[in-house]
């Protein structure tokens, strides 16, 4: 369990950022579920609960999601259930249990860039941008490549388009982390293939996505795209699976996901 | 740090440490139905309601509960007893260790889902681990209690 010397609940983002940057081990609190499993000594913890960042709304052609929105709200919100074939609810619905998902926040999940994250994989398959207090707005894929900085993730912006999408994963048991997770989407003729929990953080299989966008959708070509994704991405070994197993699994899950999306597009 | 809570319809003002978790706060004030077990936020034993939503009190900082309505099994004793009788009748009360968190989540589900299917019930209760692994008995009891086929 972490320890705190002090805790503040600012009512302005500016104050939260000032406190965050005052000292190296000042930390923003998300849902605390991952943080509590370590023994971090936090000087001043910053709780964003009073900043009204718990919301999901549609605005100017985007779905705007506040950083303090819980994963359970992502799972149950009618707008997200209806968009992108319910991709986001599907991606978060197997994360432990309802009580857990009521605690943890989307902002912390994304900002921490967890390798095991299910929600990052799904968000990458959409046209998602993150908005940081200091760093401004940028595509999620760019944010994930950046080194970690002291900043505050304020909200996510997801472009409301007619994208078809799906999410698949494999777990050893219902509430365990994913051994591998996959999200695939298609907008017009542009495919996006994302693979996460490799166990490194989620990444777009750029070459496989581009190649699939040029092809017709025969069974052989879908399989070729899945194989290409598995070759293009790097996999690692941990207690849940070896790199070889993940690579083999990637081929299967990506092909199934492409088939699902292709079927939705018909 | 001082926090004001409404615990089981009673307004209280308590002193808490800044890094104190809600489960410890509740237990220190005699609400011993709230238990801790897994320390990894995955077993559901410590489930209470914050603003009528099931949460893990082992993961929720007490300061974050300031100004909120908290419900433990002591606050829904009539409903809990009704469900406990069904659990017993179905032979699924077992060792009883997971029961407080399990009962709280079943009662939350009852308010949230209308006529749920087996799949929906199982999915809703995935976050409640039973150390006796008697899930089929529990499922039978939940369906009987909810009056679903």
Asked whether the beta carbons of residue A100 and residue B59 sit closer than 8 angstroms, the reply is yes
Interface of A with B (CB under 8 A): 1-7, 9, 29, 31-33, 36-37, 45, 47, 49, 72, 93-94, 96-100, 102-103, 174-175
Residues 55-74 of B with CB under 8 A from A: 55-56, 58-61, 63-64
| pLDDT at residue number A12 | 97
Angle of helix B77-89 relative to helix B135-146, nearest 10 degrees, comes to: 120
Residue of A nearest to B51 (CA): A102
Q: Which domains does chain B have, with CATH numbers?
A: 2-74 (3.10.20.30), 76-146 (1.10.150.120)
For CATH 3.30.465.10, list the domain ranges present in chain A.
56-159
B53 touches chain A (CB under 8 A): yes
Q: Which residues contact A142 (CB under 8 A, 6 or more apart)?
A: none
Instruction: Locate all alpha helices (DSSP H) within A95-242, ordered by sequence.
Output: 98-103, 106-111, 119-124, 140-145, 206-214, 219-232
Return the residue in A35, A44, A98, A176 with the most chain B beta carbons within 10 A, the one to mutate for interface testing. Answer: A98
Please state which CATH class domain A56-159 belongs to.
alpha beta
- For residue A217, the model assigns a pLDDT of 86
pTM of the model: 0.94
Residue spans of chain A under pLDDT 50: none
Assign A32 to helix, strand or coil: coil
B34-59: string of b/e by CB count within 10 Å (b at 16+)?
Answer: bbebeeebbbbbbbbbbeebbbbbbb
Q: Which CATH superfamily is domain A166-265 in?
A: CO dehydrogenase flavoprotein, C-terminal domain (3.30.390.50)
B85 touches chain A (CB under 8 A): no
Q: What is the complex's ipTM, to 2 decimals? A: 0.95
Cross-chain residue pair A98–B63, CB shorter than 8 Å: no
Q: How many CB pairs under 8 A join A and B?
A: 84
Tell me, yes or no, if B100 comes closer than 8 A to chain A by beta carbon: no
| pLDDT by residue, tens only, chain B of 149 residues | 999 999 999 999 999 999 999 999 999 999 999 999 888 888 999 999 999 999 999 999 999 999 999 999 999 999 999 999 999 999 888 898 899 999 999 999 999 999 999 999 999 999 999 888 789 999 999 999 999 87
Q: Where in chain A is the domain with CATH 3.30.390.50?
A: 166-265
């Amino acid at each position: 369990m972490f320890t705190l010397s002090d805790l503040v609940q600012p009512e302005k983002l500016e104050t939260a950022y000032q406190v965050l940057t005052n000292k190296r081990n000042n930390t923003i609190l998300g849902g605390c579920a991952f943080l509590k499993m370590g023994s971090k000594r936090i000087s001043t913890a910053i709780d964003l609960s009073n900043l009204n960042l718990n919301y999901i709304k549609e605005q100017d052609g985007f779905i705007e999601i506040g950083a303090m929105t819980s994963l359970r709200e992502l799972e149950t919100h009618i707008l997200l259930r209806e968009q992108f074939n319910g991709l986001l609810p599907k991606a978060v619905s197997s994360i432990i249990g309802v009580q857990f998902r009521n605690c943890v926040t989307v902002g912390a999940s994304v900002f921490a860039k967890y390798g095991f994250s299910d929600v990052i994989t799904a968000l990458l398959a959409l046209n998602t941008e993150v908005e940081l207090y200091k760093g401004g707005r940028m595509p999620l894929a760019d944010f994930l490549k950046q080194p970690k900085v002291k900043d505050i993730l304020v909200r996510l912006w997801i472009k409301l388009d007619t994208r078809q999408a799906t999410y698949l994963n494999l777990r050893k048991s219902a509430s365990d982390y994913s051994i591998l997770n996959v999200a695939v989407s298609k907008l017009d003729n542009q495919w996006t293939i994302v693979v996460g929990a490799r166990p490194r953080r989620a990444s777009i299989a750029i070459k496989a996505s581009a190649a699939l966008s040029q092809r017709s959708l025969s069974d052989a070509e879908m399989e070729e795209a899945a194989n290409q994704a598995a070759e293009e991405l790097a996999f690692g070994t941990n207690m849940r699976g070896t790199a070889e197993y993940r690579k083999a699994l990637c081929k299967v899950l990506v092909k199934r996901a492409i088939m699902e999306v292709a079927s939705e597009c018909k | 740090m001082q926090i004001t809570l409404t615990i089981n319809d009673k307004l209280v003002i308590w002193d808490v440490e800044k890094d104190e978790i809600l489960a410890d706060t509740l237990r220190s004030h005699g609400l011993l139905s709230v238990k801790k077990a897994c320390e990894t936020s995955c077993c559901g034993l410590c489930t209470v309601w914050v603003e009528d939503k099931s949460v893990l009190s082992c993961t929720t900082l007490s300061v974050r509960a300031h100004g909120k309505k908290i419900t433990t099994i002591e606050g829904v004793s009539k409903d809990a007893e009704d469900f406990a009788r069904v659990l017993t009748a179905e032979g699924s009360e077992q060792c009883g260790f997971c029961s407080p968190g399990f009962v709280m989540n079943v009662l939350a589900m009852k308010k949230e889902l209308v006529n749920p299917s087996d799949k929906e019930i199982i999915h809703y209760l995935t976050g409640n681990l039973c150390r006796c692994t008697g899930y089929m008995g529990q499922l039978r009891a939940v369906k009987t209690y909810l009056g679903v086929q």
